[in-house]
Amino acid sequence: MFKGLEKVFDVIGEILAVVLVIVFALLILDANFHFLPDTVLNIFTIIKEYGALVLIAVVGCEAMSKRNFLFQIIFLALVALIAISLFSPATHHNPNHPNTKQFSQRGASPAGKAPLCL
């Protein structure tokens, strides 16, 4: 299924990895120095949240290009399961999860704790 696309997935994976490293570095710097506008911060946060999944999918497709059809189908089914679950409201709005208030307000710290940076 992916035999001819191995090189394409390789290049896309390399580009995504570099972009994610830059985004993570900027988010870490912004957590300390607050130089990014809120709009850019929101965009980078979305890239941070979903970029890892996209990178996993691309690198996984590159790895699955060397495997048989059954492994490719299993891998794609698992990636689809993860992607579909991201659209479930319960995935991101679980009040019992410790990171629920992470992005609620910039610089705010819940109950006197240190602010969560990443």
Q: Is the pLDDT of residue 86 over 90?
A: no
Q: Which residues fall within 8 angstroms of residue 61, CB to CB, at 6 or more apart?
A: 2, 5, 9, 75
Question: Residue 96's pLDDT is what?
Answer: 61
Highest mean pLDDT among 26-30, 82-86, 95-99: 26-30
Render pLDDT for 40-77 as a digit per residue (tens, 0 to 9).
999 999 999 889 899 999 999 998 888 889 999 999 99
In the chain, alpha helices (H): 6-33, 38-64, 69-85, 89-92
Q: Is the pLDDT of residue 115 over 90?
A: no
CB-facing half-sphere around the CA of 37: CA atoms within 13 A = 2
The single-letter code of the amino acid at 102 is Q
- Quick one: DSSP state of residue 5? G
User: Would you say the pTM of this structure is higher than 0.85?
Assistant: no
Helices vs strands, H then E, count in the chain: 4, 0
Q: Is the pLDDT of residue 16 over 80?
A: yes
The single-letter code of the amino acid at 41 is L
**117: part of which helix (H) or strand (E)?**
none
